[in-house]
Structure 1
Amino acid sequence: MKSIFAVLALAVSIVSAQVNIVSITSPLTGTVYTAGKTATITWIDEKVDTISQIVLAKGPPTTLQFVATVAQNVDAHSRSYTWNIPSDVQPGSDYAFELGTSPNLSFTGHFTIQAADGSAPASSSGSSDNSASASSSAAPSAASSSSAQVPSQQPDNQNQNQNQNQNQTPNQNQAASISNSPAVPSSSSSPAPQNNAGLKTTANAVGALMVAGVAAAAML
């Protein structure tokens, strides 16, 4: 418990020992500078006579990383300093100025330094968002193209079914006409022997009559 209280006491003493040496009025968060031109830093309410250094830093507010020294031993009562931005400064939107030396520091908000030609710094988050949107738009387009292909096959299937039905219809009509047509007797059908039997019967009757006529004539 004693060690915890000791750490807390040390942290409180460090925080209380920090001094915001000036109140910065420029640049404000979102200010845009151009490489090769000038940037003016202004402040009020100076708590010191001399600002030990002004530093250009880059990165998240809690973990700013040193980039370059802008100036040293600046008269705090002048309340401004103009910096000639090098033309080869890397473009970025997460720059900040640190005024003073730890623990007596003052910070600006994040500002942007764009390239000398005026082009905005590249944003990795923007490019990832663009690629995600492109892949998400590609998925609906693929789905729409596949859905568009399905109906195109249905008319073909319907046409095939209609063709099959049309092909079957003449066959069915032919079958119906054949079934409805009267049967034609062939030359080998049974009535032919019946006609031959009738002829034989008639011949026999004629022969019998002739014999009877001859017999009658002989008796006379």
Structure 2
Amino acid sequence: MKSIVAAITAIAVTIVSAQSNIVSVTSPLAGTVYTAGQPAVITWIDQQVPVIPKIVLAKGLPTALQPVSTIAQDVDANAGSYTWNVPADIAAGDDYAFELGNSPNISFTGLFTIKSAGAAGANTASPAATDASASSSASGSVASASTSVAVNARVAESAGFKVSSNKVAVGAIAVAGAAAAALI
């Protein structure tokens, strides 16, 4: 039994070490809203590389993001930010994300919204307003944790690793832990 646990631990360490976040994205966070035709600022900290090889706009479910377009290449990682002018004719949607880097060394943003240029309001670099109660905090943490689990599973899959249906169980554990932490 101990050898099985050791083998599982070794596999988990191998999968985690096979992928690497090249930066820690600080904006946009999940729930951020951008407006077509307006600038969108992407920010990060803890860069692990001097240059971000590319920044890609992607769309879709966190577990099945599809590239829409490469918006930048060879970005100075030490700058800590990049401003992208959202095209005025881009399709509105609430399932966009940025991918920074090349697989398997890639960082993802949370899902954000792009609204049409005719919609009222300006871009906001913070998530949509939420109730400040503990239950809303827990709910937000659950959403972030489940998105993170899904994105991490996608990264592992894109690196050539088979991610089994057990990722749902792992995701549930991560979500429960995030909810508990938010309530403390």
In the TM superposition, residue 15 of structure 1 has moved relative to its aligned partner by 2.9
User: Matched residues in 1 for 2:120 and 2:41: separation?
Assistant: 21
User: Matched residues in 2 for 1:114 and 1:72: separation?
Assistant: 25
**Shift in alpha-carbon separation, 1:26–1:37, aligned structure 2, 3 A:** same
User: Matched residues in 2 for 1:111 and 1:77: separation?
Assistant: 24
> Which one has more relative contact order, counting CA pairs under 8 Å at least 6 apart?
2
Unaligned 5+ segments in structure 2 are 1-6, 122-184
Pairs within 5 Å for 1:96-111: 96-111=97-112
User: Matched residues in 2 for 1:10 and 1:100: separation?
Assistant: 24
Of 12-21 and 38-47, the range deviating more from structure 2: 12-21
**Secondary structure class of the residue paired with 2:21:** coil
Deviations 1:153-184 (A, max 9, x none): xxxxxxxxxxxxxxxxxxxxxxxxxxxxxxxx
**Secondary structure class of the residue paired with 1:39:** strand
Unaligned 5+ segments in structure 1 are 1-5, 121-220
Pairs within 5 Å for 1:23-102: 23-102=24-103
**Could you say what the CA RMSD is over the residues aligned between the two structures, in angstroms?**
2.3
Matched residues, number = 116
Deviations 1:35-66 (A, max 9, x none): 01110000000000000000000111111011
Aligned residue number for residue 119 of structure 2 = 118
In the TM superposition, residue 17 of structure 1 has moved relative to its aligned partner by 1.8
- Relative to its length, the structure with more helix (as a share) is 1
In the TM superposition, residue 67 of structure 1 has moved relative to its aligned partner by 0.5
* Larger Cα-atom Rg: 1
Pairs within 5 Å for 1:13-28: 13-28=14-29
Runs of 4+ in 1 over 6 A off after TM superposition: 8-11
User: Matched residues in 2 for 1:72 and 1:57: separation?
Assistant: 15
Pairs within 5 Å for 1:195-210: none
% identity of equivalent residues: 66
Q: TM-score, normalised by structure 2?
A: 0.58
**Secondary structure class of the residue paired with 1:86:** coil
User: Matched residues in 2 for 1:85 and 1:58: separation?
Assistant: 14
In the TM superposition, residue 119 of structure 1 has moved relative to its aligned partner by 6.8
